[in-house]
Structure formats: C-alpha cells, structure tokens
Amino acid sequence: MPVDFTKIDLNGFVALSTDRDFEDFEYEKVPWQENGRDPQLEQHAFETFVAWPLGGIGLLLTSRYWKYNWKAMHHAHNIIGTFVVLITLISCFEVYYKFDWVQSTSPHGILGLICMICCLMVGISGLICVAIMHRAES
C-alpha cells in the first residue's frame, strides 16, 4: 500500500497515511532531512518559483512599462511568455507522471490544476494574438 506524506510537524517528523482517505494515521518518526524530501518535488518547486515570479515580472515590464520605449518588447514578451507556459506545463506534467496521473485533492493540487489550465488558456490566447498581429502587419 503506498505511503503518502501528508503532514510535517515542527520537529521534522512526517505523519504517514496508509490510505487515500487520510482516515488512519500512523505516526512514524522519519527525520525531515533523511526521508521526508523528494528531489522531484523540490525541482517542481524551484521551476515554478523561477517561472512565475521572475517570468511574471518580465511579462509585466514588457507589456506595461517598457512598451513605449522599446520597440522589440513584443518579441521579448513572447519569448518570456512562452518560457513561463512551457516551464509550468512541463513541471506540472512531471508531477502528474510521478503520481501516476492521479489528481491530488489537496488545496495545492487543486489550485495547481486550475493554474495549469489557466496557463494553457493564456498560452493559446497569446499565440492567437501573435497570429492576428502578424496578419494585420502584412
């Protein structure tokens, strides 16, 4: 039966659940530094931390503040936006693959799915906008 890491207390111990309903908990003392960290989930955290705040700042700067002073801002905005969408989707699909394509019912899992869907919609709408602008120029 798979073990889910569901809670980490202040002492660095993990509460292990033996079922998906999280009804019976078996508390085992698992040190946080030894067994409680997953390199793939830490990579997901790092990727989304880089893509969303840094990419978001770049997108905001290129679409609002540098818009009037820099003519190539459309290209920079497209490149940064593509980077954010690709990193988000790849990172999320890696997590889904790790958990056998099962959607988590945790708030993080649900909000992550919503963000992934919104990211897909924004990426598609950005591609449509670029196509319309390119067609209008020619």
What is the mean pLDDT for each group of 10 consecutive residues in the chain (138 residues)? 49 48 47 60 87 91 76 84 92 88 86 92 90 81
Give DSSP secondary structure letters for 56-90.
Answer: HHHHHIIIIISTTT-TTHHHHHHHHHHHHHHHHHH
Question: Hunting for tokens 């039966």 — which residue is that?
Answer: 1
Distance CA 108, CA 34 (A): 24
Look at strands 4-8 and 14-17 and give their pairing. Answer: antiparallel
Specify the pLDDT at position 118: 93
Specify the pLDDT at position 117: 94
- Find how far residue 90's CA is from the centre of its chain: 9
Continuous H helices in the chain: 32-35, 39-49, 55-60, 73-98, 107-137
Strand order in the sheet with 25-27: 4-8, 14-17, 25-27
Specify the pLDDT at position 89: 92
Specify the pLDDT at position 10: 47
Specify the pLDDT at position 82: 92
Specify the pLDDT at position 37: 66
Contacts 24+ apart (CB under 8 A), 116-125: 116/88, 116/89, 116/92, 119/84, 119/85, 119/88, 119/89, 120/85, 120/89, 122/81, 122/85, 123/81, 123/82, 123/85, 123/89
